[in-house]
Amino acid sequence: MDAELLSRIQFALTAGFHFIFPPITIGFGLFIVLIEGLWLKTGDTRYRRAAEFFLKLFGLLFAIGVATGIVMVFQFGTNWPVYSNFVGDVFGSPLAIEATFAFFMESSFLGIALWGWNRVGKKTHFFSTVMVCVGAHLSAVWIIAANSFMQTPAGFELQKLAVGANGARVWETLPHGTVPAVADIASTKAAITNFWEMALNPSTLDRLTHTLAASWLCGAFLALGICGYYIVKKRADADFAKPCANVALAFGVISSLLMLATGHASARKLAHTQPEKLAAFEAHYETEAHAPLYLFGWVDEKAQTVRGVEVGGWFSLLAYGNTNAVVTGLRDLPTDDFLKKIHPEATAAELADIRPQYWAPINFTFQSFRAMVYLGGAMGFLLAWGCLLWMFKKLLREDFKWARLFWLACIPSVLLPLCASQVGWAAAEVGRQPWIVWHILKTQDAVTTTALPAEILASTLLFVCIFTVLTALFLYVFFKKIKQGPDIPHAAGY
């Protein structure tokens, strides 16, 4: 294996492992705010005990998230130095803001939230919990802004290092839309021209709202799973489980509806900003009206065909709101005008042969996108089940068979939004290949030119060992804390 493939594998492993934790902390943090707010409003000490207990679990999730994030960041310098040099001025700005502002806000107020019970006033403590939640959300804002620049770059210009008239080295601005040649990448960089245009690029808001909705679902299902465990076990020391379960169910329902709306909006935006990615999601090769949508299937990338169950016109409807709308297929993407920038001497026939080089791995993208959708469907089914039980006042009836089955199903369902987030993120990132910065810099041209494959393989194996140990320790402590349950009321100063 070469350095490029090994670097891709290593980053996928570290990023995928790290991405388990931020969505949970974002969603779980908001859930804790709701619970502590209910304590302030009602005076019910069950909510106080729940908030204190959930904050301890949040602290464990936050700690492991920080540890895994540090490992991932170092790879920008070790495995992707060409990328870091090319977009460092742009990419570094939101990451620096996230680290120096959002992260430190979250971590500082978390200390008060964890250890400030009975040391600060109720409102002061609630403010700290809110700030922890706000800090987690602000971290998401800047991380998504940085990543969205890679998807739909804006607010920048390309500059190339050149020799001026007096022999001095100067940065010359390249024309808008330039795609640097491979030989020029080392002497070319992206520079910010408008910070807010860069941060609020065409995909930022859609991707941010979708990511936050997914994170809220992660938090809601974690809360449902924990409450379900205590309800099934009939734990007397976890009397907060039932009232908190109601909150978690409502939180999950609202988050799922937002998830559906933001997901649809994100897909509609792709039709205009990244049509190649959208076509890859649906393995749509031909440009046609009344384009079909495949419920499931298998893509033969060599023959450029799909075998599966399709619904005529649905792709056109979802992409453009009209079943007869024309959807551009992969055989016409990227456009000839764009390919001519990179292959100016190519004929029309040659461009047709070159075009597949600029497609993502179609079957992987097609399948991962559907996995995300169907996992979302499973979550929707479970939430609908819970709503029916609530409507008929059976949700918290321990003697009712279907209620007990529901809570048993909620315990492993914690994994559903986490898996959906993983495959959804994979679809989004693989779907923009071969570009690391859309239509500007290819991934294969951004990898290290100095690290040896053996070095990358060795570090990958080391990361796997470290993550395995971290996972084992985290799961042991996390599950032990859940099994142990909350503190005894009189010992906690209630």
- Tens-place pLDDT, residues 172-199: 888 888 899 888 888 899 999 999 999 9
Per-residue model confidence (pLDDT) at position 144: 92
Over residues 134-166, the pLDDT tens digits come to: 999 998 999 999 899 999 999 999 988 887 767
Q: Give the integer Cα–Cα distance in Å for 402 and 408.
A: 10
Q: Note the pTM of the prediction, 2 decimals.
A: 0.91
Per-residue model confidence (pLDDT) at position 488: 66
Q: Give the integer Cα–Cα distance in Å for 115 and 121.
A: 12
Q: Is the dihedral of CA 476, 477, 478, 481 positive or negative?
A: positive
Cβ contacts of 70-73, under 8 Å, gap ≥ 24: 71/14, 71/18, 71/463, 71/466, 72/11, 72/14, 72/15, 72/18
- The answer to whether residues 358 and 336 touch, using CB atoms and an 8 Å cutoff, is no
393-431 b/e (C-beta count within 10 Å ≥ 16 → b) = eebbeeeeeebeebbebbbebbebbbebbbbbbbbbbbb
Q: What are phi and psi of 254, to 5 degrees?
A: -60, -45
* C-alpha distance from residue 225 to each of 275, 398, 475 (Å): 38, 16, 15
Residue with tokens 């090769």: 285
Q: Give the integer Cα–Cα distance in Å for 449 and 45.
A: 60
Q: Is the dihedral of CA 68, 70, 74, 80 positive or negative?
A: positive
DSSP state of 102: I
What is the number of alpha carbons within 13 Å of residue 241 lying toward its C-beta? 27
Regions of the chain short of the pLDDT cut 50: 490-491
Q: Which residues contact 466 (CB under 8 A, 6 or more apart)?
A: 71
Q: What are phi and psi of 28, to 5 degrees?
A: -70, -35
Per-residue model confidence (pLDDT) at position 196: 92
> Is it true that the peptide bond before 361 is cis, omega within 30 degrees of 0?
no
What is the number of alpha carbons within 13 Å of residue 122 lying toward its C-beta? 12
Residue 272 amino acid letter: H
Per-residue model confidence (pLDDT) at position 331: 93
Q: Which helix (H) or strand (E) holds 326?
A: strand 326-327
Per-residue model confidence (pLDDT) at position 493: 53
Judge residue 100's burial from the number of C-beta atoms within 10 Å of its C-beta, 0-12 exposed, 13-18 middle, 19 or more buried. Answer: exposed
Helix (H, G, I), strand (E, B) or coil at 296: strand
Helix (H, G, I), strand (E, B) or coil at 188: strand
